[in-house]
Amino acid sequence: MKALVAPSKMALALAFAAAVAAPSAFADIKVGLNVPLTGFAAADGNSAQIGAKLAVEKANAEGGVNGEKINLIIYDDQASAKEATPVATKLIERDQVVGAVSGSYSAATRPAAQIFQAAEVPYVVAYSIDPSVTRTGDYMFRVSSMGEVQGRGGAKLVHELGKKRVVLITLKNDFGQTLARGFKEAAPKFDLDIVNEYEYDIKDRQFGSLIARVKADNPEVIYASGYYFNAGPLVSQMRAAGITVPIIGQEGYDSEKFIEIAGPAAEGTLLVTSLDRDSDVPVTQEFLKTFRETAGFGADMVGASTYTAMAILIEGLRKTGGKGGAELRDAIAEGTYTMPIGELKFNDLHEVSKDLQVQVVKDGAFHRHSVLHDPELLAPPTKDSK
Amino acid sequence: MLFIELVAQGLVQGSIYALIALGLTLVYGLLRILHIAHAALFTLGGYIGVLTTNATGSLTIACIAAMIGAGIVGVIIYRLCYEPILNQPPFVALIASIGLYIAFEEAFRILFGAAGLTYNAAPLQQQVAIFGSLYFSQAEIMVMASSVAIIAALGYLQSHTRVGIACQATVSDPQMAESFGIRLRTVRDLNFFVGSALAGFAGVWVALLNNLVEPTMGSVPSYKALAIIVLGGMGSVPGTLMASLVLGVTESFGTVYLDRWLDRNAVAFAFLILVLMFRPQGLFARR
């Protein structure tokens, strides 16, 4: 008898149905990344993106997650809260990522964190150091030391240099202000005398008047926060003005661009950071080498921490077989990780506790100066602490 | 001593503002257009300056290249963007200008990278002592000197030469000016060329003082220059110079004594608001 539907059409319909209804074993595992690709922070966003991509490529080359490829979905958030919110929403609702990494500044990460927490999607934060990020909830993870911890490390470094009189130059944003807060908190422990503190705006490149006042203050050491586009001009102008005392920077300086801008003035600048260029840990050296080959410039802190954040997310996914939600959150929380930025383990607030690396600029490159080891001083906050 | 240093730093900064704001005041004085995209020419000048110096080793060639390059692009902007909408209400040109500025910023980022460019071997970095213990870099001295020289020249040109008077005529009465044989288009082209060349020149020096040129370096000057021309009395060249210097010095003191509450730009605009509250026509308005 005649078929109700022509056989060829039936076959086509069946094939179509099969394709659409195919089990997700054929679908990639999707992870999200928000980075500033345009706007004032685009250089950092670019480094972060490269770091994240390296982690994904490495994992996929090793077989992905249980044989399935990891699909990295990247959106530009311009390091702005306004842009980060729709980006986070898109990643969750349209792209349905199982986990995400923040490769952006605190301004963008904070609102995104709220959204990821509400959707119960694990969010591993690379270098945003504002305290409120992990306080947002238990789906948040941070792989960099919190701002205050780094600031306390700075105070300890001043003490180890044998200095007492400090001037603080603080970038007026989350990054700079949390660093300054930590520094000021630890300063009494080392009997430091903070002669003065000056705050400046992220768009400033000319520091003539600030430097005039610092010269009048006559400190023994300067603790100055900023990104490479602030620090480069600042250090260069300070040395040109005849300031010879040590200058201590942080992760914001941790980019070859800083050395390029400041030129010879960069020599001797100290950085409290987490990437040791002279490390003999194989993971670190391999990362440094691959980053340079891929990017064409040396790895910076932003690239290294975003790589780390993505790598940790992937390791969590390997444990859950690609599943997200609470299972992924717990898998990430339990792990111990050997990463380019150190041996990492999360506490109950999902903050990391580790030594801080002090690098110094010597012969136009970053080299190891010392290590700040003080688990008590550098302890991150816990769920119960203030 | 500190006081004098702060004033001196303010004058350096003010000189830079003057170079940028001048171009804007020339355009505003002529066409009543708020030319936000002017700041893009400032950035363009910076890029040309760095690239040319790195390629040729000569800052002089770089300055000339930057001025010519920025001048030409300025005229192109006038012809393509503003001329067609001259008879529209002023906010149309303003919006077009803002859009153009944003486009330029992104173009710089795409063309030259997000991280910016630096001089391979920045010239004029030597410190020179003035009055004993006041130190300036050679670059800072050059900025101040050239700023004053250019403005003096412009002021003279405006009031003592045929070209200058012709420009003024096209503002007061374009039709009458045309009937006297003054070609409006030529005057306007010249105006944009000179104003843009000045911005380009400023860009070279700012890039040198910071050893960094970035795609977004024009973002603050774009609206701050507007504030300056308001402060100086819109369209007045001497007013713009004075306003720039006053603003530079105010910022210099504000950034180190008020820094806990206000950053540099907040200081600048707080100052603007205060002045306008008492003198709405600006500090140095035209008679």
**Inter-chain touch A38–B265, beta carbons under 8 Å:** no
- Using the predicted structure, report yes or no on whether residue A24 has a pLDDT greater than 60: no
Mean pLDDT score of chain B, rounded to an integer? 88
Query: Is residue A20 domain-resident?
Result: no
- Using the predicted structure, report yes or no on whether residue A357 has a pLDDT greater than 50: yes
Q: Find the length of chain B.
A: 287
* CB-based contact A338:A361 (threshold 8 Å): no
pLDDT higher at A264 or B151: A264
What ipTM was estimated for this complex? Answer: 0.88
- Pick from A78, A80, A184, A206 the residue to mutate for testing the B interface (most B CBs within 10 Å): A206
Q: How far is CA B48 from CA B42, B44, B45, B51, in A?
A: 10, 6, 5, 5
Mean pLDDT over B200-206 rounds to 94
Query: Is residue B285 domain-resident?
Result: no
pLDDT confidence bin for A386, thresholds 50/70/90: low
Distance from CA of B86 to the nearest CA of A (A): 31
**Inter-chain touch A209–B255, beta carbons under 8 Å:** yes
Number of separate domains in chain B: 1
Query: Is residue A12 domain-resident?
Result: no
Q: In whole angstroms, what is the distance from residue B103 CA to residue B107 CA? A: 6
Looking at this protein, which amino acid is placed at residue B16? I
Query: Is residue A140 domain-resident?
Result: yes
Mean pLDDT over B95-122 rounds to 92
With CA atoms as reference, the chain B residue closest to A40 would be B216
User: Which of A151-160, A245-254, B234-243 is least confident?
Assistant: B234-243
Instruction: Please check whether residues A173 and A296 belong to one and the same domain.
Output: no
**Inter-chain touch B216–A236, beta carbons under 8 Å:** no
Query: Is residue A383 domain-resident?
Result: no
Query: Is residue A208 domain-resident?
Result: yes
CATH number for position A254: 3.40.50.2300
Instruction: Please check whether residues A300 and A368 belong to one and the same domain.
Output: no
A367 token code pair: 């080299």
Number of separate domains in chain A: 2
Query: Is residue B256 domain-resident?
Result: no
Q: Find the length of chain A.
A: 386
pLDDT higher at B188 or B133: B188
Instruction: Please check whether residues A139 and A36 belong to one and the same domain.
Output: yes
Query: Is residue A236 domain-resident?
Result: yes
Which tens digit of pLDDT belongs to each residue from A82-106? 999 999 999 999 999 999 999 999 9
Q: Which residues of B82-96 are buried (b: 16+ CB within 10 A; e: fewer)?
A: beeeeeeeeeebeeb
CB nearest to B220's CB, from A39, A203, A257: A203
Instruction: Please check whether residues A218 and A246 belong to one and the same domain.
Output: yes
With CA atoms as reference, the chain A residue closest to B136 would be A241
Query: Is residue B263 domain-resident?
Result: no
Query: Is residue A386 domain-resident?
Result: no
- Using the predicted structure, report yes or no on whether residue B207 has a pLDDT greater than 50: yes
Instruction: Please check whether residues A315 and A176 belong to one and the same domain.
Output: no
pLDDT confidence bin for B7, thresholds 50/70/90: very high
pLDDT confidence bin for B160, thresholds 50/70/90: confident
Query: Is residue A18 domain-resident?
Result: no
Please give the residue range of the domain that contains residue A287: 28-145+279-354
Instruction: Please check whether residues A184 and A242 belong to one and the same domain.
Output: yes
Distance from CA of B153 to the nearest CA of A (A): 27
Mean pLDDT over B246-255 rounds to 94
Instruction: Please check whether residues A341 and A329 belong to one and the same domain.
Output: yes
Instruction: Please check whether residues A114 and A168 belong to one and the same domain.
Output: no
Identify the pLDDT of residue B92: 93
Q: How many CB pairs under 8 A join A and B?
A: 104
**Inter-chain touch B13–A206, beta carbons under 8 Å:** yes
Mean pLDDT score of chain A, rounded to an integer? 92
- Using the predicted structure, report yes or no on whether residue B266 has a pLDDT greater than 60: yes
Which tens digit of pLDDT belongs to each residue from A119-147? 999 999 999 988 999 999 999 999 999 89
Q: Is A213 on the interface with B (CB under 8 A)?
A: yes
pLDDT confidence bin for B148, thresholds 50/70/90: confident
**Inter-chain touch B265–A39, beta carbons under 8 Å:** no
Least Cα distance to B124 among B136, B113, B110, B112 occurs for B136
Instruction: Please check whether residues A189 and A226 belong to one and the same domain.
Output: yes
- Using the predicted structure, report yes or no on whether residue A356 has a pLDDT greater than 50: yes
Within 8 A of A216 by CB-CB distance, chain B residues are 1-2
- Using the predicted structure, report yes or no on whether residue A349 has a pLDDT greater than 90: yes
**Inter-chain touch A42–B9, beta carbons under 8 Å:** no
Please give the residue range of the domain that contains residue B29: 12-120+132-222
pLDDT confidence bin for B234, thresholds 50/70/90: confident
At residue A140, φ and ψ (nearest 5 deg) are -95, 140
CB nearest to A209's CB, from B6, B106, B125: B6
Identify the pLDDT of residue A221: 98
**Inter-chain touch A210–B256, beta carbons under 8 Å:** yes
At residue B195, φ and ψ (nearest 5 deg) are -60, -45
Within 8 A of B252 by CB-CB distance, chain A residues are 208-209
Within 8 A of A42 by CB-CB distance, chain B residues are 109, 114-115, 215
Which tens digit of pLDDT belongs to each residue from A34-63? 999 998 899 999 999 999 999 999 999 999
Identify the pLDDT of residue A100: 97
Instruction: Please check whether residues A86 and A34 belong to one and the same domain.
Output: yes
Instruction: Please check whether residues A208 and A315 belong to one and the same domain.
Output: no
Which tens digit of pLDDT belongs to each residue from B17-64? 999 998 888 888 888 888 999 999 999 999 999 999 999 989 999 999
Query: Is residue B248 domain-resident?
Result: no
Instruction: Please check whether residues A121 and A86 belong to one and the same domain.
Output: yes
**Inter-chain touch A261–B214, beta carbons under 8 Å:** no
